[in-house]
Amino acid sequence: MYVDSEQYLSAQAELDVADKRRGEATAVFLDDVPSFRYLAPLPYWLARSQEGVNKASAAAAENYRKFMALRPEPSSDPLAADARKRLTALTAAR
């Protein structure tokens, strides 16, 4: 994955396309299996790529907030814990 390999610009380009085509997430496998759940972590990964490009990114903070809005409190999701930590660091840096 681009984010894991620190190729943030490539990740951001691909994730922006996914965000623009979010309506297609309802039928990603072209069968009768619901697939909208694959869209839920998109704001997290967008934020990670935006943060990688710009450590003080307001867009990254906003995407972390969007992601956290989808998670109930308290969440045992490791991505939620990471997003919470990163959002705190981003807001403290301002």
* Torsion of the alpha carbons at 54, 56, 57 and 61, rounded to the nearest 10: 140
Residue 10 tokens, joined? 């490539």
Summarised one tens digit per residue, pLDDT across range 12-61 is 898 988 888 877 766 656 666 666 777 889 999 999 999 999 998 999 99
Predicted TM-score (pTM) of the model is 0.79
What value, to the nearest 5°, has the Cα angle with vertex 9 and ends 7 and 11?
Answer: 70
> pLDDT at position 31, please?
62
Tell whether the model's pLDDT for residue 65 goes beyond 80: yes
70-83 per-residue burial string, b: 16 or more CB within 10 A, e: under 16: ebeeeeebebbeeb
